[in-house]
A = this chain, B = another copy of it.
Amino acid sequence: MPVDPLNGRREVTVSDVAAAAKVSKATAARVLGGYGAASEAVRDRVQAAADELGYHPNALAKTMTTGRSNSIGIIVGDIENPFFAQATRGAADVAKAAGYDLILLNSDEEADAEQNAISVLLAKRVDGILVAPASTTDPSSLREAVERGRPLVLFDRVADGVDVDTVVADNLAGSRQLTQVLLDAGHRRIAFVSTIAHSSGYRVGDRLGSSSVDDRVRGFVGALADAGIDDPGRFVHLNARRDGVDAIVRRLIDDGITGIVASDSLIGQAAFRKMRSLGIRIPTDVSLVAFDDADWTSLSAPALTVMSQPIHELGAEGARLLIRRIAGDRAPTEHVVLAQRLVERESVAPPPA
């Protein structure tokens, strides 16, 4: 007499229904599970018994025998970050339509947490994993998933040496274009600011820990170089978390910078606030542009010129790729690159004379 150890209740099982309907367990399972064949009479009888007893399937038991859980794991930096929230929704919708649920884990962009998350998901036998990898250059945290042959798809960032499907935004082109807006307005002293950690001062050619930031920096440097600006690398400011966006912005102003490219919406926000508190007028004194068309960028005064990301689609397409693999697709790995879109608003003007 099996009893739920959690609340002492007895759950109705296939066996119970079978007994009540006077058929074998196999037959009851077939009609309840909707597979195999059964005569109409039997089907009705079983269904009636199931309703009568209050049968509810145990998806775990099913997973034990079929090997499929109809769950996929998603690992994001921080679900509280609107970027990840949107991407997660995109993934959730696609997943749901295909009959999958999402197990959500936050990595806080830490490799250890990410690795641990993967272990947990694997132990729970998810059918596949969708992750925005914390590190592009050190993909060891993803190893277990790959080694154990679970479908894995990367979104927003790629990871070196990990041969799986990926979906990212075209940060290189987007960054070039965004930087160009400043260049076209006449700016020559433009800074790029990011929170990404980097051991030393940035030098052109350095590889950054996140492929998307890496691409953004390369686009920025490329645009400056094309504009004939000497040693563009010196305009790249990383480690903003450690050093503080406020301090960096203040230093930038002192250095006579006239334009700023914020590597993401959070940095843009911090820079915006700091300049306001410093009494620096945007765009009269300094022009500011940022990645991500976040809510606030169209509500602020001035509204910000931004490079809009296909965030929802990043998650949705990631889920699509993953589900395809789960279904058994053995095609060569695919690398989807989604376009970004420039939204010009009021935060750019020519540099002060």
Chain B positions within 8 Å of A127 at CB level:
6
A147 to B36 Cα, complex, angstroms: 31
| A125 at interface by CB-CB < 8 Å | yes
For residue A87, give the distance in angstroms from its CB to the closest CB of chain B. Answer: 9
| Across-interface contacts of A53 in B (CB, < 8 A) | none
A88 to B79 alpha-carbon distance, docked (Å): 8
- Interface-forming stretch among A16-24, A62-70, A155-163, A245-253? A62-70
Judge whether A227 is part of the interface by a CB distance below 8 angstroms. Answer: no
Query: Interface centre among A57, A80, A122, by most B CB within 10 Å?
Result: A80
Take A9-B149, A67-B5, A101-B105 as given contacts and tell me if A123 and B89 are in contact as well, using a CB distance cutoff of 8 Å: no
CB-based nearest B residue for A82: B82
Tell me what chain A mostly uses at the interface: helix, strand, loop, or mixed: mixed
Judged by a CB distance under 8 angstroms, whether A56 is at the interface is yes
Within 8 A of B (CB), among A7-61: 7, 9, 56-61
Give the residues in chain B near A300, CB-CB below 8 Å. 296, 299-301
Q: A92: CB under 8 A from chain B?
A: yes
Pairwise interchain contact A103-B71, C-beta atoms closer than 8 A: yes
> Which of A69, A85, A269: most chain B CB closer than 10 A?
A85
Q: Name the residue in A61, A78, A123 with the highest tally of chain B Cβ atoms < 10 Å from its Cβ.
A: A123
Which of B61, B92, B296 is close to A64, meaning CB atoms less than 8 Å apart?
B61
**Restricting to A299-328, which residues have a CB under 8 Å from any CB of B?**
299-301, 326
Tally of chain A residues near chain B (CB < 8 A): 55
A74-114 interface code vs B (CB 8 A; 1 in, 0 out): 00001111100110110010001000011111100000000
Contact indicator B269/A299 (Cβ below 8 Å): yes
- Identical copies in the complex: 2
A230: chain B residues within 8 A (beta carbon): none
Kindly state whether residue A4 has any CB partner on chain B within 8 Å.
yes
Complex interface: chain B residues within 8 A of A105 (CB): 92, 101-102
Q: Point out the residues of chain B lying under 8 angstroms from A148, CB to CB.
A: 9, 56
A57: chain B residues within 8 A (beta carbon): 123
Query: Is B69 a contact partner of A89 (Cβ separation < 8 A)?
Result: no
Q: How far is the CB of A345 from chain B (nearest CB, A)?
A: 13
Flag whether A241 is at the interface (Cβ < 8 A). no
Q: Which of B4, B67, B272 contacts A4 (CB 8 A)?
A: B67
> Could you tell me the distance in whole angstroms from the C-beta of A276 to the nearest C-beta in chain B?
9
B71 touching A60, Cβ below 8 Å: no
Partner of A123, one of B59, B64, B92, B119: B59
A120 CB within 8 Å of chain B: yes
- Nearest Cβ on chain B to A88's Cβ, whole angstroms: 6
Whole-angstrom CA separation of A61 from B67 in the bound complex: 11
**Whose C-beta in chain B lies nearest to the C-beta of A88?**
B79
**Interface flags, A269-310, vs B, CB<8A=1, else 0:** 100110000000000000000000011100111000000000
